[in-house]
Amino acid sequence: MRTREKLVKLIDDAIKQYEDNTCIRFVKRTNQAKYVKIIKDGRKCYSHVGQVQRPQPQPLSLGGGCEFIGTVVHELGHAIGLYHEHQRSDRDTYITVYGQNVRAGNECCIVIRGYFAPIFMTSERISRLVACIFLKMGFSYFFLVE
């Protein structure tokens, strides 16, 4: 199977996870002005959170190194409006955030973001994500699961 075909299958499998486990349904684009356009931006994996307010496609990048089912599910989650679980409005009920352990410039990553509908993210996954991205050198966590 060619690389493009593998990526299309991966995207279809990620969409199937949402459709099998939630009330969310994805619709193939016909002539809509606003839609999610999956691109390959170098080695970057990203999406805006929720629909962008402009009449053009919303980019969702699945660059090199992003070809994993969990990554595709994660970025699709951002595209439909989901923030990270450590940013949910009730997070302080479940975890303790140690802001002093967050690397300078990444403080925005621990801001509480209002409404959140948890899907697919576990404490173990969150811990691995933040351990590689947000921490100052020498610290092993910025929150603890209670």
Inside any domain, residue 112: no
Inside any domain, residue 109: no
Indicate if 75 belongs to the active site: yes
- What's the domain range around 50? 3-82+134-143
Inside any domain, residue 30: yes
Inside any domain, residue 69: yes
- The pLDDT of residue 146 is 44
Inside any domain, residue 28: yes
Closest to 133 measured CA to CA, from 105, 91, 114:
105
Has 78 been labeled as part of a binding site?
yes
pLDDT, tens only, 112-135: 876 544 444 444 444 444 444 444
How many domains is the chain partitioned into structurally?
1
d(CA 34, CA 74): 20
Inside any domain, residue 119: no
Has 84 been labeled as part of a binding site?
yes
Inside any domain, residue 108: no
pLDDT, tens only, 14-47: 999 999 988 889 998 888 888 899 999 989 999 9
Has 86 been labeled as part of a binding site?
no
Catalytic residue among 5, 19, 67, 75: 75
Inside any domain, residue 122: no
* CATH code of the domain in which 51 resides: 3.40.390.10
Q: What is the pTM assigned to this prediction?
A: 0.69
How many Å from the N-terminal Cα to the C-terminal Cα in the chain? 44
pLDDT, tens only, 42-83: 899 999 888 877 778 889 999 988 999 999 999 999 998 887
Q: Check if the beta carbon of residue 112 is closer than 8 Å to that of residue 88.
A: yes
Closest to 112 measured CA to CA, from 129, 135, 92, 142:
92
d(CA 17, CA 80): 14
